[in-house]
Amino acid sequence: MTALVTEEQRTRLLANGRDRAAGQGIDPLPVVRLFTPDAHATWLLTELDPADGDTAYGLCDLGLGMPGLGHVKLTELASIVGPRQQPVMRDRYFRATRRLSGYVRLAQQNGSIID
């Protein structure tokens, strides 16, 4: 596990991952928001693959105007540093206000993740 998610968040991410793996059509609230403070990248993650516990799924915005759904490994995110040597960080104050589909719709309309 990385310091990017808390134990409670990891539990929720894994539960959502198990639901998706079981074939349930889910549209969960994002569990965690990760970001680079010096590179304008943001990830709103909703689940973790229960098979490896490292592959996350959610809305990814690399700051290029093309946010989209995708998979990312937490271990890879933990190794990223921005141009000013700032690591990826967890937004400790993030509270989802809409389901993932709502964030996707707004991000596609605006070219970036907004809240």
Q: Does 19 reside within a domain? A: yes
| pLDDT tens digit sequence for 46-92 | 999 999 999 999 999 998 999 999 999 999 999 998 889 999 999 99
Among 30, 41, 45, CA closest to 67: 41
Q: Does 2 reside within a domain? A: no
| pLDDT tens digit sequence for 22-36 | 988 889 999 999 999
**DSSP single-letter state for residue 29:** P
Among 52, 44, 47, CA closest to 75: 52
Where in the sequence is the domain holding 37, given as residue range(s)?
7-110
Q: Does 86 reside within a domain? A: yes
Structural contact between residues 10 and 1, judged by C-beta atoms closer than 8 angstroms: yes
Specify the number of domains making up the chain: 1
Q: Does 1 reside within a domain? A: no
pTM: predicted TM-score of the whole model, two decimal places:
0.92
CA dist 71 and 50 (Å) reads 13
Helix (H) or strand (E) holding 77: helix 74-79
Q: Does 22 reside within a domain? A: yes
CA dist 90 and 94 (Å) reads 9
Among 52, 38, 69, 61, CA closest to 110: 61
